[in-house]
Amino acid sequence: MTLVKAIREGLGGKGKLASAIMLFCVPLALSFLAGSPLRSGLHAAFDRYPASKELLNGGGLDLLAETGLRQPAFWAAGFSLFLPMLLFSLLLGLWAQAGAYSLALPEAAENPWRRIWPAATKLLPKFLLVATLNAILWGVVAVLAAMPFAALNFRFKENTDPGPGWHLFLAEIVALAIFWNIASAAGGCAKAATVLRIGGGNVAKSYLAGLKFSLRKFAQVEAMTWGFFALRLAAFAATVLAFPIAVTYGGAVMKWLLFQMAIFAMAFLRVAEMRSQVAYLAGSQPEPAPVKEEKAPQPAEVEVLSSASL
Amino acid sequence: MKSRSMLAGLVLVVMIGGAAKAFASAPPVLFDPPMSKRNANYAIEVSLDAAARSLKGRERIVWRNITAAAASDAWFHLYLNAFANNRSDFFEESGGRLRGDTADRKHWGFCQVTSLALVNPDGTKVPLKQLFPGSDRTVMRVELPSQVPPGGQITLDVSFEDQLPKVFARAGYAGNFVMASQWFPKLGVFQGDKGWNCHAYHANSEFFSDFGVYDVSVTVPRNYVVGSTGVEWGSEEISGANKTVHLHAEDVHDFAWTASPDFIEADGTWEGVKIRILMQPGNKDSIPRYMAAIKEALGLFAKWIWKYPYQQITIVDPPANGMGAAGMEYPTLITAGASPFMPKSLLMPEMVVVHEFGHQYWYGMEANNEFEEAWLDEGINSYYETRIMDAWFGPDNSIMNGLCGLHMGDVAMQRIQYFSFPDMDPVVLPAWKYSSNAAYSVMSYSKPVMVLKTLENILGTQKMDEVMRAFFMKVKFTHPTTDDFVKIVSEAAGKDLAPILNPLLRGTGTVDFKVATVRNIPLEPPSGFDLAKEKPTLFSKDTKPKKGGDDKGYRAEVIVQRKGDIVLPVEISVTFSDKTTKLETWNGEERYVTLKYPKKVTEVIVDPNGKIPLDLNRLNNGWQAKEDGAPASTLALRFSSFFETLYALGSGLF
């Protein structure tokens, strides 16, 4: 199968909406939960005081600092759920991905809303294993790849001119992005292989098959990953960077809604990428060898005895 | 070590020979008549051994006693000895960490006087014995063979050797960058009957010296670019790979120079003042930022205080591994600090240039004792830093100008620093006596900004400018004290400001106004006997309460409390349910004031125009009847989006 055809299949087909909504809801729900203590703390701290109007337009940072100094527990309490939810996002994200990948199979396209929950739950342990294997493998590669950079960094620490250090930093950022996408593509292909049961249901075998595929079709897989990554980044940047900070509550709500649209667009693109991976991997599998039609053994001619002959 | 000394000796001989040739043409006369008393004058010849990072020099000091008392000894600062070991006062106080930098304990520094003699009028020399009165060797004293009477003058010849430390606090080297500051044996300040003011080099203190003329010849490798206090008036190549640069400064009280083969030079001018920027190659993109900042500062200081009188200002950009040298002031030379990572919306490079240039006035010309009253230069200068940055970028954007949609003014930043240590120490205190480095910083920089900003708001900006200009013009090229400041600004303001300034500068009291109570009390219909009647009669049951304004049947009582000890007049804005607003003024003398109104109050704001940035808690300055959740909700939405971004990353959406 060609890459273009795989992407076309990824962008088309049924069940995308359910998957996208599921992916979209994970960060939204977690941010809502994690933000609850902060939200109530901020209301308690500021609602009665006219000076807090400065906070509307991105100012009043001294008021925030003042609040933290006066109530040392203010920010700690406000951010108390932030880290647990961040860890939880890893797990919940995998669960949502499992649902989305499972809906990428053609036979799962019908009744997506009914299928996605049990499929996600059923696939989660396998996806956890895939993610762990991927993290270990690429973690080791990352450490090895970072060694020359670390040595360079150490050299630049003593450098009088910040210029080369700055260029090195930029190079590190680019390298990190490339590395991130390679690891992400490998993980994605491994998840697709798991869903497709390449490896006969053995997760390690599926992982290896996915990894091998991502390396064998490196250019195509990377092109697909980078393409979708760039689109997602553009959607994100369009709302975060293109719109200035809102100076009224209404404006902030509008900006928040735009931000949600961007996150949803990212979720949709992520689902399309997953489905493209599944389609590309499935389409690149060797066709099963045609089974030679063996002549069925002819039953020995049995003399049919008619009852009459008995 | 021996061969290194021999080489250095050879270099010195060659240098002196070269210097003799250079001295054939005289340095320029920059100011005639002199701007200062010029009683401490230095002629110095110094050579840099770039490989050893050491200096070898000799100086001739001509000192005149300008006090009414005779001097029987002379005291010197040997500042570099603060970096000689971990037993110096500087090290013990700082623990080897200062201004965000950490000392490199493998590369120490020192300043050693190798010979010292009094030069008689006939040219003969009397060797003088070095004595070290302090706990470390940052201060040296010599007894003079005879007293120097008032108006008398002595000449001293001093030879010295410096080992430069790796840059940690202001002076030293970083790679092939050299920052030679506090590098030569330097006289303290003779204060007549009080003797010599010559403190040890403390971690939290800066410097104090008399004005004079400096003629300095610096020998460095030929490929080094040299920047310095004053102006360069000659340069010559000498044998080997070295050159000697001749430098001259008048009416200054210190001399610093820098050298590096890597500097990129950028020149500019502002109304006849030469601007010279010595930049690290990697930071060259920040040259326009430095240039714009220095021009802005030159212009506004000329407008508000006095036109910068010197011929040149040099801005030095230290390298990334020498940031301990950054953000420092010397006469006509300042060090700034840039980084390729610095976003344009974060105005730190501009702020540092503006601040350090401001020191040309508050330290350079108003030469207070930084050891004992650091606020007089750091505090006043920080105030002017906020004024210039606010005038340039606007008061709400003068530090953070839209970084990720956020903005913050310089005063707000100073305020954040101030209220972290508002009452541990007074502002006026010798630098080494503060409870901590942070307290020194707050009391010398941030609190004075709050005090002066409050004074500006009390007097009005125009009057404040007149007052500060009067202070500067009266004390320039002298050593003013806090008492001088209070006296002169009171005279210029036309009212005694001591009751306001002394508690703020010499005490630890704070300012905190609070809206303590707001009560909207429903009026009851009158009941009981109506004594206005001829015969006491019970009020009729259907008598209605008197109506007040648009609001029916309410009276209001507002109590504003002064929680801090500092007494300041304050404005109180009271808004009523009929949308009218009344601005009250309270002298703040009592602990609280009760305000009564015949109608319902919907909002009370103490200090509505933010005239008292000293107020420690701005949130309790206001009260509103109707809760307004919009600011908190807006902020919560922003945090929520931030959380969501990270959770999207965690859940694999990126």
Identify the CATH number of the domain in which residue B466 sits.
1.10.390.10
Burial of B14 (0-12, 13-18, 19+ CB in 10 A): middle
Q: How far is A288 from chain B (nearest CA, A)?
A: 34
Contact A100, A119 (CB under 8 A): no
**B574, β-bridge pairs:** B582, B604
Cα separation, A132 vs A155, whole angstroms: 34
CB distance B408–A62 less than 8 Å? yes
A61 inside 8 A of chain B by CB: yes
Adjacent-strand bridge partners of B449: none
Spatial distance between the Cα atoms of B456 and B298, rounded to a whole number of angstroms: 21
N-term to C-term CA, chain A:
64
B544, B494: one domain? no
Q: For A56-93, what is each residue's pLDDT tens digit? A: 877 888 888 888 888 878 888 999 999 999 999 999 99
Domain boundary among B449, B482, B506: B506
Same domain, B542 and B612: yes
Q: What pLDDT, on the 0 to 100 scale, is given for residue A305?
A: 41
Residue for token pair 């000076």? A51
| DSSP H helical ranges for B307-374 | 348-358
Residue A67 near chain B (CB below 8 Å): yes
Average pLDDT, integer, range A164-178: 78
- Which pLDDT score is estimated for A138? 87
Q: Which residues of chain B have pLDDT under 50?
A: 1-24, 548-550
A184 min Cα distance to partner chain B (Å) = 9
Taking the C-alpha atoms of residue B12 and residue B164, their distance in angstroms, rounded to an integer, is 17
The answer to whether residue B608 is domain-embedded is: yes
Distance from CA of B254 to the nearest CA of A (A): 26
The reply to whether residue A92 touches residue B651, judged by beta carbons under 8 angstroms, is yes
How far apart CA B557 and CA B601 sit, in angstroms, is 8
Which CATH number does the domain housing residue B185 bear?
Answer: 2.60.40.1730
Answer yes or no: is B315 within a domain.
no
The DSSP 8-state label assigned to residue B612 in this structure reads: -
A251 — pLDDT class (breaks 50, 70, 90)? confident
- Give the number of other Cβ atoms within 10 Å of residue B201's Cβ: 27
The residue from B489, B506, B523 where one domain ends is: B506
B435 lies in the same domain as B500: yes
Residues B37 and B160 in one domain: yes
Which chain B residues are closer than 8 Å to A244 by Cβ? 402, 405
Check pLDDT > 50 for residue A307: no
Which residues of chain A are within 8 Å of residue B316 when distances are taken between CB atoms? none
What is the predicted pLDDT for the residue at B23?
A: 44
Characterize B56-83 residue by residue with b for buried, 16 or more Cβ atoms within 10 angstroms of its Cβ, and e for exposed: bbbbebbbbbebebebebbbbbbbbbbb
Residues of A whose CB is below 8 A from B650: 27, 86-87, 89-90, 93
Give the pLDDT confidence score for residue B633 in this predicted structure.
Answer: 93
When scoring A25, A49, A229 by the number of chain B Cβ atoms within 10 A, the one with the most, hence best to mutate, is A49
Please indicate, yes or no, if residue B139 is contained in any of the structural domains. Answer: yes
Contact A92 B629 (CB under 8 A): no
8 Å CB contact of B653 and A93: yes
CB contact (8 A) between residue B647 and residue A85? yes
The domain boundary residue, chosen from B482, B506, B530: B506
> In terms of domains, do B638 and B496 share one?
no
Nearest to B634 among A56, A92, A97 (CB): A56
**Does residue B621 lie within any of the structural domains?**
yes
Nearest to B101, CA basis, from B316, B257, B325 = B325
pLDDT in tens, B637-646: 989 999 999 9
Among B563, B457, B573, which residue's Cα sits nearest to residue B511?
Answer: B563
Same domain, B148 and B60: yes
Q: What distance in Å separates the CA atoms of residue B94 and residue B96, rounded to the nearest whole number?
A: 5
ipTM: 0.87
What distance in Å separates residue A285's CA from the closest CA in chain B? 26
Please check whether residue B356 lies inside any domain of the structure: no
C-beta separation of B602 from B625 below 8 A: yes
B624 to chain A nearest CA, in Å? Answer: 6
Residues B497 and B534 grouped into a single domain: no
Per-residue pLDDT, B580:
96
| pLDDT classification of A160: cutoffs 50, 70, 90 | low
Q: What is the CA radius of gyration of chain A?
A: 27
Query: Residues A2-12: pLDDT tens digits?
Result: 889 999 888 88
Considering only CB atoms, which chain B residues are within 8 Å of A87? 650
Mutating which of A23, A48, A259, A264 best tests the B interface, going by the most B Cβ atoms within 10 A?
A48
Same-domain check for residues B479 and B552: no
Give the strands of the sheet with B212-221, arranged side by side: B125-127, B110-119, B153-163, B54-64, B40-49, B212-221, B242-252, B231-237
Task: Looking at the complex, report in whole angstroms how far the Cα of residue A21 sits from the nearest Cα belonging to chain B.
Answer: 12
Shortest CA distance from B340: residue in chain A: A166
Domain count, chain B: 3
Of A57, A246, A263, Cβ closest to residue B648: A263
Contacts of A254 in chain B (CB under 8 A): none
User: Position B174: which residue type?
Assistant: A
Query: Residue B636's domain spans which residues?
Result: 513-651
- Kindly state whether residues B606 and B576 are assigned to the same domain: yes
Rounded CA gap, B503 and B426, in Å? 9
Helix (H) or strand (E) holding B58: strand B54-64
Cα torsion for B529, B530, B531, B536, to the nearest 10°? -60
Burial class (CB in 10 A: 0-12, 13-18, 19+), B197: middle
Q: Is B162 helix (H, G, I), strand (E, B) or coil?
A: strand
Assess if residue B80 is contained within a domain.
yes
Please tell me the pTM assigned to this model.
0.85
Domain boundaries, chain A: 3-283
Same domain as B539, residue B495: no
The predicted pLDDT at position A298 comes to 57
DSSP letter for each residue of chain A: --HHHHHHHHHSSSSHHHHHHHHHHHHHHHHHHHHHHHHHHHHHHHTT-GGGGGGGGT--HHHHHHHHHHSTHHHHHHTTTHHHHHHHHHHHHHHHHHHHHHTTSGGG-SSHHHHHHHHHHHHHHHHHHHHHHHHHHHHHHHHHHHHHHHHHHHHHHT-S-HHHHHHHHHHHHHHHHHHHHHHHHHHHHHHHHHHTTTTTT-HHHHHHHHHHHHHHTHHHHHHHHHHHHHHHHHHHHHHHTTSPPPSSHHHHHHHHHHHHHHHHHHHHHHHHHHHHHHHHHHHHSPPPPPPP-PPPPPPPPP-PPPTTT-
Same domain assignment for residues B251 and B216 = yes
| Residues B614 and B629 occupy one common structural domain | yes
In a domain, B286, yes or no: no
The answer to the question of residue B471 being in a domain is yes
